[in-house]
Amino acid sequence: MRKLLLLALATGALHAALIRGTVVENQTGRPLARALVVVRPVTGTAAEELSARTNVYGAFEFPPVAGGAYLLTASRRAFAPIQYGQKRWNSAGVPVLLEDSAATYLTIRLPRYGAVAGTVVDENEVGLPEHDVVVYTNTRPPKLMARGKTDDRGMYRISGLDPGSYLVRTTAKLYDDGGYLPTFGKETATVDQAYAVEVTLDEQVEKADIRPLPGRLFTVAGQVISPGQTPFTVTMVSDTGSVSTTSDARGNFQLPPAAPGQYEFYAQTAGVDYRTGKPLAGFQPVALDRDRSDISFAANFLPEVLLSFEEGQNGAIDTKGMQVMARRKDLSGEGIPEVLRPATNGRVSLLPGRWELMLAATPQYYVGGFAGPGPASLERGRADGWNEIVSAGRFSQVKFVLSSSPGAVHGMVKGSGSDVVAGAPVFLESYDLEKQRRLTDLRVTRTDMQGRYQFAGLAPGTYRVLSSFEYQMPDSMSISGAAPKILIVEAGRDAAQDLDLYVLR
């Protein structure tokens, strides 16, 4: 019996495929030890996801796998992750196609992240030590990506940057003999006049020097008023980032001197108030145009939001598998999305201020309506996308109206020779043709082994669909330049749309 089992295992191994190779540094070709390599089978391939670390020689090898199509990703700390087969850093990986009993040997080259380096100098070109430097995306509003500090000679280096356009800025700094305003290179306090630096992988932008503008900085201090005595974390937010401090037990706080401008102040307890047994939080917008040691705002119990779900025809709703996503919205832009976990009564506690909510429904429904607290001036997008609310007071309600008649899109992707393409990325964009803008987050899937794709749970409306290995997450401009198919999705209908694989010439 044992001999028969061993024979069966050996026979299976003879008909299995092998994936092995090396991971090397892109610039030098030196082997990279301890790199993580992940193999993900394309839908329809009878295999599971596998991972392995390279050895001291940069080599990796996976156990025998079934024939099919596989996507490989390699990563290591301080290096940009790479999908095997990428044409550029932001294009999608191409599957490795293996027949039974075949073997492939792959070499994956990992590039290093980009970096920005320079010197922060005073009026006489003398380096300023211990001056904070911040890198933002060249967007409106800018998004903080990384920060660093100058050394004793005023020199700095900030690494870990993806390719793209960035703005470099010093923060406000008060020295013994005067202060410096937050300043973008080349010597401007405004975002629109800032000098952008272009970062690429394996390269360092040199001489991104900044001469901060001398100027008056204002005192920032005040008190968070609460029913008990407990320290608060107080955060001051502007359109270019935030800074935090901890108050004393009476709520008194002092933040670093700041430049004139509009700010939002948030306060929250690290734990619970010892008298009430509950967390406390507060919010206050402030226009800073003079020394302010009188900033005062109240902290109360966290506002509660009741999440409710209704079906258009008053039918029962199965909310199992649905997730309500939330992200903080302030002067510096949108925060990182998080999943809300309501209590048994359907309520969640949100810090006071502005938030955006989105319901990730199951494929059996689509979100057709949204209602939440806040003035009419709030940004309300399409119901199945991100919608802004204001968390304030003690209690409010958010309502999602769902329909059990979602639309769907399916089709097949073919290459230049009319052959089906396995593992091809397919992008679906909800789009406003009149305003020429994206309405909700981009949806992405990959074709299966037969070149088929499908999107379900769609709200009625106009969509653009595209299949290409040229992108990982294309923006609307890139999709427009790739001749996408435009289709109308109707409630309860499954639209058929075959696609030709787009290749950038």
Between 58 and 229, name the one with better pLDDT.
58
Band (203; pLDDT cuts 50, 70, 90)? very high
Band (502; pLDDT cuts 50, 70, 90)? very high
Strands 425-432 vs 437-438: parallel, antiparallel or unpaired: antiparallel
Give domain limits for the chain. Answer: 2-110, 114-205, 220-300, 304-403, 407-500
pLDDT at 7: 37
Give the helix/strand (H/E) hosting 494.
strand 494-496
Per-residue pLDDT of 74-84, as tens digits, reads 999 999 999 99
Using alpha carbons, select from 427, 416, 264, 412 the residue that is nearest to residue 335: 264
Q: Does pLDDT of 308 surpass 50?
A: yes
Is the N-terminal amide bond of 186 cis, ω within 30° of 0? yes
Please state the φ and ψ torsions of residue 43, each to the nearest 5 degrees: -50, 130
What is the CATH number that goes with domain 114-205? Answer: 2.60.40.10
SS3 6: helix
Using alpha carbons, select from 448, 460, 472 the residue that is nearest to residue 43: 448
Give the CATH fold of the 220-300 domain.
Immunoglobulin-like (2.60.40)
pLDDT at 359: 97
Per-residue pLDDT of 245-283, as tens digits, reads 999 999 999 999 999 999 999 999 977 666 666 789 999
Q: Is 304-403 in CATH node 2.60.40? A: yes
- Fold match flag (220-300 vs 407-500): yes
pLDDT at 313: 65
Residue 340 has which token pair?
Answer: 């809300």
Per-residue pLDDT of 369-422, as tens digits, reads 999 999 887 877 899 999 999 999 989 999 999 999 999 999 999 998 889 999
pLDDT at 12: 45
Write b or e for each residue in 168-185: b if 16 or more Cβ atoms lie within 10 A of its Cβ, otherwise e.
bbbbbbeeeeebbbbbbb
Give the other-Cβ count within 10 Å of 380's Cβ. Answer: 17
Q: Does pLDDT of 194 surpass 90?
A: yes
Using alpha carbons, select from 370, 488, 468, 487 the residue that is nearest to residue 92: 468
Q: Is 407-500 in CATH node 2.40.50.140? A: no
Between 413 and 301, name the one with better pLDDT.
413
Q: Does pLDDT of 155 surpass 70?
A: yes
Q: How far is CA 304 from CA 15, 323, 334, 354, in A?
A: 59, 18, 21, 14
pLDDT at 1: 40
| Cα gap 460→365, rounded to integer Å | 11
Identify whether the C-beta of residue 312 lies closer than 8 Å to the C-beta of residue 402: yes
CA 421 to chain CA mean position, Å: 29
| Cα gap 238→475, rounded to integer Å | 27
Mean pLDDT of 231-257: 94
Residue 353 has which token pair?
Answer: 């201020």
| Cα gap 112→105, rounded to integer Å | 23
Mean pLDDT of 297-323: 87
pLDDT at 321: 92
pLDDT at 261: 93
Band (4; pLDDT cuts 50, 70, 90)? very low
Q: Does pLDDT of 356 surpass 90?
A: yes
pLDDT at 314: 63
Give the CATH fold of the 2-110 domain.
Immunoglobulin-like (2.60.40)
Give the helix/strand (H/E) hosting 31.
none
Q: For the range 186-194, what are the long-range contacts, defined as Cβ-Cβ under 8 Å and sequence gap of 24 or more? A: 186/210, 187/211, 187/213, 189/213, 189/259, 191/140, 191/141, 191/142, 191/167, 191/239, 191/240, 194/138, 194/167, 194/169
Q: What is the DSSP string of 228-296?
A: S---EEEEEEETTEEEEEE--TT-EEEEEEE-SEEEEEEEEESS--TTTSS-EEEEEEEEESS-EEEEE
Q: Does pLDDT of 474 surpass 60?
A: yes
What is the percent of the chain with per-residue pLDDT over 90, rounded to a whole number?
85
pLDDT at 228: 77
